[in-house]
């Protein structure tokens, strides 16, 4: 096991990793920006280093200061969490060059899967179905030619992308020029890489992803699927659940087979997720995330496996102490992401001070958060302030439990998505289950009225 682990992240995931390390008996080193000095992840770690000012480029992406903090504190491993440097193959290489174990897959695998266009090619070679689409399109004219092959509607996607950034739907030829320009500009601003590719837009698909864990001895298992179809108009996930409700058994089995085939094709190690679009019987590979994901707790709840601890054990060279036949999902888990955002104003992010914070508890409820009464939300970072997870025997009971948990939650000082999520949980179509990724943006939101607002006529 490691001597000491540096956690190269902030917020709830930094706390989550710290908890896993503490339970494994491994001391931790936190890093923080000047804006996060009072943050909970700094207080919970055994040691902490300020690595730069608030803006991420100078702190949480400041590779020299992060590596230096690891070396002078005597850490021998770095956990990148999600976002920031988690899928930066160069960072993983730099860690290895300095004798620091990067807790994640091999840098070459991160590079292969991180470049979405390359990943699609590798997956197609492994026999995993991908959405019809193109390689990199360098110009609007090239995009137009590729779109003619697959037909409208299409998605323009950033090759370096993720989290819905640099992604635009194009429904008609006359929209192409405008969408291409904005997608490229957004990709350049977000990833410093403006390369785009075209993907056929599958109508009303569900977003279903499969969790993989692989050790360095060659064992690879899946831990079922997560349905992440409830997404904001910006394609960011809002509610996730496991298992996917009423997914036909043969479709589910094919998803698992494809995910394992994909993992084997790249000799995948550590935790990773294969994201698919599922439309009826059709399954299309979208992308692979070579890191722990925000929504990992729903899998942990139904499988009773601590994915973050497994990541650390695997990176330390230990083999998985279970096989596929040992893994059995129990019940149903739902996660609601609580964001400091205003749902009635296009989910505009809010910064400020939380004057009052009360989180729910009780049976089957888990809260992953770095928030407390008096905590600041700096303007530089992601707007997610908590994840509330409810686990019960059935989906119906999990929804009821989540409603109860959200009713207990009080967050004052900034606008949040709590009331919005409660309205989604009460929506008959959500309750019926199996809605597609477009549902929230195109069906639910147009008919939704913010609490306290007069109903539109």
Partner 1 sequence: MTRTIRSVFEETIASRIRPLAEAMQASDLIRVSVAETDLEIELIRHPRPAATPAAAVVDPSAAAASEATYEIVAADQVGIVRFTRPIAVEGTVLENDREIAYVEALGIRNPVRSKGKGRIASVFVIDGQAVEYGQPLFALDRGA
Q: Which residues are catalytically annotated?
A: 291
8 A C-beta contact, residue 242 and residue 302:
yes
Q: What angle do CA 112, 117, 121 make, to 5 degrees?
A: 75
Q: Which CB sits closer to partner 1, 26 or 392? A: 26
8 A C-beta contact, residue 41 and residue 21:
no
Query: Interface with partner 1 by CB under 8 A: which range of 62-70, 84-92, 291-299, 355-363?
Result: 62-70
Query: How far apart are CB 67 and partner 1 at their closest, in Å?
Result: 6
Locate 127 and state its tokens: 């026999």
Q: Which CB sits closer to partner 1, 66 or 111? A: 66
49: contact with partner 1 by CB under 8 A: yes
53: contact with partner 1 by CB under 8 A: yes
52: contact with partner 1 by CB under 8 A: yes
28-33 and 5-7 beta bridge pairing: parallel
Distance of alpha carbon 329 from alpha carbon 107, whole angstroms:
31
Query: How far apart are CB 74 and partner 1 at their closest, in Å?
Result: 10
Query: How far apart are CB 62 and partner 1 at their closest, in Å?
Result: 8
- Please tell me whether the peptide bond between 243 and the residue prior to it is cis, using omega within 30 degrees of 0: yes
Q: Which CB sits closer to partner 1, 44 or 401? A: 44
Query: Interface with partner 1 by CB under 8 A: which range of 43-51, 181-189, 325-333, 408-416?
Result: 43-51
8 A C-beta contact, residue 275 and residue 205:
no
Q: Which CB sits closer to partner 1, 34 or 403? A: 34
8 A C-beta contact, residue 285 and residue 123:
yes
Provide the β-strand partners of residue 81.
none
Q: Which CB sits closer to partner 1, 54 or 329? A: 54
Size of the site for partner 1 (CB under 8 A): 23
2: contact with partner 1 by CB under 8 A: no
Q: Which CB sits closer to partner 1, 99 or 352? A: 99
8 A C-beta contact, residue 381 and residue 10:
yes
Provide the β-strand partners of residue 60.
none
Report the chain's terminal Cα–Cα distance, integer Å.
Answer: 63
Query: How far apart are CB 104 and partner 1 at their closest, in Å?
Result: 21
Options 50, 261, 375, 445; binder of partner 1; rule CB under 8 A: 50
Options 24, 47, 117, 129; binder of partner 1; rule CB under 8 A: 47
356-358 and 410-412 beta bridge pairing: antiparallel
59: contact with partner 1 by CB under 8 A: yes
17: contact with partner 1 by CB under 8 A: no
In order of 166, 202, 314, 379, 384, the CA distances from 36 in angstroms are 28, 41, 30, 11, 15
Distance of alpha carbon 27 from alpha carbon 5, whole angstroms:
6
Query: Interface with partner 1 by CB under 8 A: which range of 57-65, 142-150, 293-301, 341-349?
Result: 57-65
Give the count of alpha carbons within 13 A of 199, CB side only. Answer: 24
65: contact with partner 1 by CB under 8 A: yes
Q: Which CB sits closer to partner 1, 71 or 327? A: 71
Q: What is the DSSP code string of 232-265?
A: -TTS-EEEEEES-TT--HHHHHHHHHHHHHHHHH
**68-107 footprint of partner 1 as x/- string (CB under 8 A):** xx-xxx------------------------x---------
Options 1, 19, 24, 27; binder of partner 1; rule CB under 8 A: 27
Options 34, 76, 169, 193; binder of partner 1; rule CB under 8 A: 34
Q: Which CB sits closer to partner 1, 4 or 404? A: 4
In order of 158, 243, 296, 371, the CA distances from 390 in angstroms are 34, 13, 13, 19
Q: How does 200-219 read in b/e, with b if 16+ C-beta sit within 10 Å? A: bbbeebbbbbbbbbbbbeeb
Distance of alpha carbon 76 from alpha carbon 4, whole angstroms:
6
**394-423 footprint of partner 1 as x/- string (CB under 8 A):** ------------------------------
Query: Interface with partner 1 by CB under 8 A: which range of 40-48, 135-143, 325-333, 415-423?
Result: 40-48
Query: How far apart are CB 381 and partner 1 at their closest, in Å?
Result: 17
Residues lying near partner 1 in the complex (CB under 8 A) = 25, 27, 34, 45-47, 49-53, 59, 62, 64-69, 71-73, 98
């Amino acid at each position: 096991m490691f001597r000491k682990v540096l956690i190269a992240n902030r917020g709830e995931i930094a706390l989550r990793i710290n908890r896993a390390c503490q339970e494994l008996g491994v001391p931790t080193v936190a890093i923080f920006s000047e804006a996060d000095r009072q943050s909970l992840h700094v207080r919970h770690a055994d040691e902490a280093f300020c690595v730069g000012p608030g803006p991420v480029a100078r702190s949480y992406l400041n590779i020299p200061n992060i590596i230096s903090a690891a070396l002078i504190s005597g850490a021998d491993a770095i956990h990148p969490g999600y976002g920031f440097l988690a899928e930066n193959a160069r960072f993983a290489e730099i860690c290895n060059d300095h004798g620091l174990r990067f807790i994640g897959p091999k840098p070459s695998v991160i590079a292969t899967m991180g470049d979405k266009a390359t990943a699609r090619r590798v997956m197609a070679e492994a026999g995993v179905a991908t959405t019809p689409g193109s390689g990199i399109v360098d110009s609007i004219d090239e995009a137009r030619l590729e779109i003619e092959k697959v037909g409208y509607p299409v998605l323009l996607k950033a090759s370096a992308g993720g989290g819905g950034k640099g992604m635009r739907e194009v429904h008609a030829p006359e929209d192409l020029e405008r969408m291409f320009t904005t997608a490229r500009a957004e990709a350049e601003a977000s990833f410093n890489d403006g390369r785009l590719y075209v993907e056929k837009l599958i109508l009303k698909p569900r977003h279903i992803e499969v969790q993989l864990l692989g050790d360095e001895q060659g064992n690879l298992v899946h831990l079922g699927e997560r349905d992440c179809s409830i997404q904001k108009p910006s394609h960011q996930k809002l509610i996730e659940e496991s298992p996917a409700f009423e997914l036909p058994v043969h479709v589910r089995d094919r998803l698992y087979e494809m995910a394992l085939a994909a993992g084997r094709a790249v000799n995948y190690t550590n935790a990773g997720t294969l994201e698919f679009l599922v439309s009826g019987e059709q399954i299309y590979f979208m992308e692979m995330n070579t890191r722990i994901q925000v929504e990992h707790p729903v899998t942990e709840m139904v499988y009773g496996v601590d994915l973050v601890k497994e990541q650390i054990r695997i990176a330390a060279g230990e083999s998985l102490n279970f096989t596929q036949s040992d893994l059995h999902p129990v019940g149903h888990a739902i996660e609601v992401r609580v964001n400091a955002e205003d749902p009635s104003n296009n989910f505009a992010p809010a910064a400020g001070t939380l004057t009052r914070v009360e989180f729910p508890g009780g049976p089957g409820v888990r809260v992953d958060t770095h928030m407390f009464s008096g905590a600041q939300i700096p303007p530089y970072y992601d707007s997610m302030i908590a994840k509330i997870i409810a686990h019960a025997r059935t989906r119906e009971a999990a929804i009821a439990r989540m409603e109860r948990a959200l009713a207990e939650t009080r967050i004052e000082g900034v606008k949040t998505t709590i009331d919005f999520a409660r309205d989604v949980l009460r929506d008959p179509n959500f309750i019926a289950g199996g809605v597609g990724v477009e549902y929230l943006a195109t069906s639910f939101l147009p008919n939704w009225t913010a609490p306290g607002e007069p109903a539109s006529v």
